Structure 1
Amino acid sequence: MNAFLGLGGNLGDRGFYLREAEERLARLGVEIVQASGIYVSKPWGGIAQPDFWNMVLRVRTSLEPLELLRVCQDIELGLGRERQIHWGPRTIDIDILICDNIVSAGPELILPHPYLEERAFVLAPLREIAPELILPSGRPLREVQGRGEVWPGDGA
């Protein structure tokens, strides 16, 4: 299965958490085909918190979508992710954005990600690694801007 994953975090050493999540995915059988650069964005949800660092990975895996979700959640937990406040601060967040052409609305996983076309912090790094991508909605990625301010980070 081919997929795109969105990674982000805004607590602690953000660069470390992004790199470590990427390495842990690879160790657990998720082949990293391509990685975007790091982008910085303001947080969503109206909660005062630090800026997020975000990136997108193009991956290949033999895992089914729910298995991939569990791997991502285990990595988040292992890197100190605490789910206390919706859209609150976090060390790492790993979202499954797209899995092949799978469309599902299960209780644990909605594909494609329900906010995919709204989030500039996902669309900018996705555009970097897959500029010709046609989104599951049928819209070309290059035509979708999303909401929010996002800018290239230095990756420090």
Structure 2
Amino acid sequence: MNLSQGIKHQIVQHLNELKTAFAKYFPKCGKEDHWIMFPFSEIYFKSAVLSAREKEKLIELKTDSSLQAAFLEKKSLITFWANVKDKYPELSYKVFNVLLPFTSSVLVERAFSSYTFIKNKYRNRLSVSSDLRVYLSSVELDFKKLSASKQAQGSH
């Protein structure tokens, strides 16, 4: 197949942009992040890039034998770190930033899908900000309780 130089250049440019995007979303897991996968290993503790407080918390976590047993029983890293989130919030925050890099883009896609659902031809005159806030909220509303607590407007 014969392609012009312009098309070849565009293909190469596009592939380079994809490479950059993939590097952003899938960064190489360096030695500094291995403590996440092996929190009870001394080898990876030394190479971890953590603040002094975070290192103290990691030492505290490492010495907890019940957590070590729980870690060995768990099938996934995310489950383990989610279970220790309350006791070690600083460490869990770092872990989730490494293990769950797509949370913001997933929320954006969810918001866009919700917007297109709400803003259909039957509701095109509505302001969607209030509806979208309710639709995207993780809090489940009890509409029966809300409507029961609402007083009817009396006539004058």
Shorter-chain TM band: under 0.3
Which is richer in strand? 1
* TM-score, scaled relative to structure 2: 0.21
Select the structure with the greater relative contact order (CA < 8 A; seq sep ≥ 6). Answer: 1
Which is richer in helix? 2
* TM-score, scaled relative to structure 1: 0.21
